[in-house]
Structure 1
Amino acid sequence: MKNKLLIIGASGHGKVIADIALKMNKWKSISFLDDDLSIKSSMGLEIIGTSDDISSHIDDYEIIVGIGNNATRKSIHEMLEAVGASIPFLIHPHAVVGDQVEIGVGTVVMAGVVINCCTNIGKGCIVNTGSTIDHDNKIEDFVHISPGVHLAGTVNIGQSSWLGIGSIVSNNTIITSGCKIGAGSVVIKDVTEPGVYVGVPVRRV
């Protein structure tokens, strides 16, 4: 394990990752890369270059993508994998993670999250503040679970889907890849086609 962490992206999501990293007290130093040349620091941490400089830091840093957009995060994460970067996952000290939970590299679990036993979360995911994931869930790669989302037992969320703040998914439900579930929406049956879904219960729009 390398003792330095590099976060790609110094804006909102990157700041939260930095805050978690500081609280984990695992890395000797934490720095950012960001393409906005007008920003010199974030969270009191130095910005040491832009995304063009990633290759020069591969040997010295663990590197994680601090960008909220699923497609952008996926693209950069896969590039990091291709060049052999060391990619950690981060879990806030005030998250509760059950037994036999698997969490992929590049995934970040925020404060107040509860993940119950026997759940599998893929790589590059965001499990945001105060969300709950019950037993035997399968969350595929590059999913964004927003703050206050609640997933019941045996839910499957397909790759690169996004669940809006406060949305709820009933037990034994599948949401296919590439879906966006609106804020406050309730999913009570399988969502089998990619698209945008809103409402209680959800409908495609």
Structure 2
Amino acid sequence: MSTVGLWVIGAGGHAKVVLEACRAAALPVAGVFDDDPAAAGRDLLGFSVAGAVPPPVRWRAERKRGILAVGSNRAREALATRLAGVDWATVVHPSAVVAPDVVLGPGVFVAPRVVINPGAVIGAHVILNTGAIVEHDCRIGDFTHVAPGSVLTGNVTLGRRVLFGAGAVAIPGVSVADDTVCGAGAVLTADVSSAGIVVGVPARAPR
């Protein structure tokens, strides 16, 4: 039996963006789920939130694929671990520009007007948010979120669970450690070798 429709996990603001991208890309959504009891029955762009996230056995029985529409990097990782064995979809908005040789991991979300240039490798469950630019030969680790309007110039490496803030820029060749938070508008001109928060121009840890 073939898979029919996606299950979208999450009922917050980011889930709205994902649902709209699914509509634009003509990807059928079969259900929306969220573990928050208060979300059950909530209308989300015409979808009624069906309740708690189904266990993996139900995903397999109903041959469903899914996307984790949750903004928190750690929450996406926890859900992916809990739902091991689920078939994850990659959702790409039709307005995005993705070079043919780009590698997109399972569960990646590519929002409107994102540009991903040749040689880029994007890990599992990464969010590339509205208008982000990922230049040639970048590497982005699992569960990272590249926020709206940010720019990764050539050969940039982001580790796992990085939050690369709105409007932030990394110059060519910069490497960013796992679990780093790059503040909105930060300009990274040097490697970030350990987890923490960096802000400003040039970006550095706040004092």
**Shared fold by TM > 0.5?**
yes
Query: Displacement, 1:53?
Result: 5.2
2:70 matched residue in structure 1? 67
Unaligned runs of 5+ in 1: none
Unaligned runs of 5+ in 2: none
CA distance in 1, matches of 2:57, 2:69: 17
Are 1:18 and 1:30, in contact at CA under 8 Å, matched by a contact in 2? no
Query: Displacement, 1:64?
Result: 1.5
2:107 matched residue in structure 1? 106
Query: Displacement, 1:70?
Result: 0.4
CA distance in 1, matches of 2:30, 2:162: 29
CA distance in 2, matches of 1:43, 1:75: 26
Q: Which of these residues, 43, 56, 59, is aligned with residue 58 of structure 2? A: 56
Cα root mean square deviation, aligned: 1.4
Secondary structure of the equivalent of 1:13?
Answer: helix
1:154 matched residue in structure 2? 155
Are 2:56 and 2:86, in contact at CA under 8 Å, matched by a contact in 1? no
Query: Displacement, 1:4?
Result: 1.2
Paired residue total: 202
TM-score, normalised on structure 2? 0.93
1:139 matched residue in structure 2? 140
Query: Displacement, 1:52?
Result: 5.3
Show the 5 A alignment for 1:1-205.
2-27=3-28, 29-39=29-39, 40=41, 41-51=43-53, 55-60=57-62, 61-80=64-83, 82=84, 84-205=85-206
Identity of aligned residues (%): 32
Are 2:164 and 2:183, in contact at CA under 8 Å, matched by a contact in 1? yes
Are 2:6 and 2:27, in contact at CA under 8 Å, matched by a contact in 1? no
The amino acid of 2:33's aligned partner reads L
